Structure 1
Amino acid sequence: MDTRLTLGYLLIAVMAVGCTKAGPEFSDKLVPAAGVVTLDGKPLAGADISLTPTSDGGQRAFAVSDAEGRFQLTTVPAGENVDLEKMKGALPGSYRVSITKLQMPDGSAPPPGAAPMTSGAVNALPQQYATGQALSATVPAQGGELKFELKSQ
């Protein structure tokens, strides 16, 4: 094969690899971060959990709790399409925590596909947990388990 042709193919391959999006620059710094949320000592299913960094340069992390109140945080930068499986975890650091659980006034789940707020859904938890002022968390450098014990009164 002609040397120029080989170099041409090599250059195209290098450019293709260089143009591929590997993910956000911080994705290799994510650590496993999961936990459990309870309300009055019982698992809280369907809670939206949001961690906002207390310092600049951090990234928000999100989760939804399952039937046992368990959750696994995912960190997704705004405006980017990424593989969520590669974004499991959170950056180590301190966070303000907001927890909400939207439901219809009769206690049922919001209709599928409807925006919860426009469907008449309301937050079923005390407002103090939604503000990000009552709860905080620290994600250690090696990752870890978080526990949020909420009270209805």
Structure 2
Amino acid sequence: MFKGFKEFVLRGNVIELAVAVVIGAAFTAVVNSIVNNLINPLIGVIFQADTLDSAMVVSIPTVTGGVAEVKFGAVLGAIVAFLIVATVVYFAFVLPMNTLKERAEAKRNSGTPDPDAPESELTLLAEIRDLLAEQRERSGTRAE
């Protein structure tokens, strides 16, 4: 019962996911700070409001006599935050990983072996076969 749980928890992808969640939470705090303390005030100045939450607010009277507020500024702030996150993720993670993959693929296609790359199973099996054949020849035994 606990063996299966232990295997699940110790899998590489579970650990990677946990690290990604922690880094994502820290990254979210940084992005929120940038948006709330830098970008929102700058956009708020353009719309003459303290924050984007109070910018571009449209009041709509309701049937019950109250007022519903549509906050376009708050939506704009969320869009700006999303675009900042997407930009940073693309340039900090996606673009470098794609570049590394392209370089590795080009190196593989060029036929130049990578001395740091682990040997494939096929190569290892061929080496074992050759060593066994060499050993048989030295001992004078033949495979039938």
Same fold per TM (> 0.5)? no
Larger Rg: 2
State the TM-score bracket (shorter-chain normalisation). under 0.3
Q: Which has the higher contact order (CA 8 A, sep 6+)?
A: 1
TM-score normalised per structure 1 = 0.24
Structure with the bigger percentage of helix? 2
TM-score normalised per structure 2 = 0.26
